[in-house]
Amino acid sequence: MRPNSLSRSLRRVVPTTLAALALGAATLPADAVAAGRTQPDLVVDLVTTDVLNPAEGETFNAQVDLRNYGNGDSGPVKVTVSVPAGLRTTTPYTGTGWTCTVAGATSYSCAYPALSAGQRSQLNVPFEVAGATPGTTVPITATIAPDKRESNTGNNTGSVTVAIAGTCVIRGVVWHDLDGDGQREDGEPGIGPDGVLQVTLWRPQGQTIGGGSATVNPDGTWSITARTELLYQVRVEATSQYDKTAGNVGDDATDSDLVTAYQWDPTLLAASAEFSAHAGEEYVVDAGLITRS
């Protein structure tokens, strides 16, 4: 093999190796080490929380997913996790090989022995909500301080924004749409507990806390004070003599806000669209029912 040809074949190794790194492949070609020196590349892949909408006084965990995308051992890993105003530190969990200490009031300092090429680890850090304003968001940032020279230091930081729950009022009226036009006119009565079994706030997002239910008053009105910073859907359960009327027809002040029916027997189950509930707000979800034909 001529030297020129050898040189070309080595150059071809480099893009192959980079492509493997970009794909996050844990196993590198055998010739990668021979072709060049090894180097770690620690990355904060993702920062999440186990609860999307914590409230004052509650504790939740931030999960920091880290990985060494390089082709060399990282050496000791140090990660600083910020504690913004409105949150405070609690006793850190020291499992899964990580050791965290509280570094003043504004951060955790966490250490892990080393991540070999391709290795992943998850760091869990607890927080307590203390003095954050309901309805605002607070950022948590995790930053790696690498021990060795890295091929890329632009990926050493990751963050998550945490919404602080408050309360809102969700209310409405269930009424009998006698003429079936989707609008409530004078003379169309409310439907009380004889016809409406219950009104429930359904949560489509699993990692949220909230919800609630209510029985309607004799005039069909209902109201729930609910936890916020999440999505809700109002679900109305009524006796099977009813069906929902057409939703969102005409003036919003006097229309029906039910857009979906999930079942008709043994009871009617109809629901509003999903909406985002924010602290201090009031949401009106009215429900028009027609006699089922």
Question: Which spans of this chain sit near Ca ion (rule: CB under 5 A)?
Answer: 41-42, 150, 152, 155-156, 177, 179, 181, 183, 185, 248, 252, 255, 257
Q: Output the smallest distance, CB 156 to Ca ion, in A.
A: 5
Asked if residue 68 lies in contact with residue 42, where contact means CB atoms within 8 angstroms, the answer is yes
d(CA 108, CA 25): 31
The sheet carrying 59-68 orders its strands as: 42-49, 59-68, 120-129, 87-89
- In the complex with Ca ion, the residue whose CB is nearer, 138 or 290, is 290
- In the complex with Ca ion, the residue whose CB is nearer, 224 or 289, is 289
- In the complex with Ca ion, the residue whose CB is nearer, 183 or 200, is 183
How many other CB atoms are found less than 10 A from the CB of residue 64?
A: 26
Distances in Å between the Cα of 284 and the Cα atoms of 220, 222, 233, 258 are 13, 10, 12, 11
Amino acid at site 114: A
Q: Output the smallest distance, CB 286 to Ca ion, in A.
A: 7
Q: Output the smallest distance, CB 182 to Ca ion, in A.
A: 7
- In the complex with Ca ion, the residue whose CB is nearer, 183 or 228, is 183
Q: Output the smallest distance, CB 70 to Ca ion, in A.
A: 8
Structure tokens at 22: 């970009």
Tokens 């749409």 correspond to 177
Q: Output the smallest distance, CB 275 to Ca ion, in A.
A: 11
Q: Output the smallest distance, CB 38 to Ca ion, in A.
A: 14
- In the complex with Ca ion, the residue whose CB is nearer, 89 or 156, is 156
Q: What is the 3-state secondary structure (H, E, C) of 217-257?
A: CCCCEEEEEEECCEEEEEEEEEECCEEECCCCCCCHHHECC
- In the complex with Ca ion, the residue whose CB is nearer, 177 or 229, is 177
Rg (CA), the chain: 28
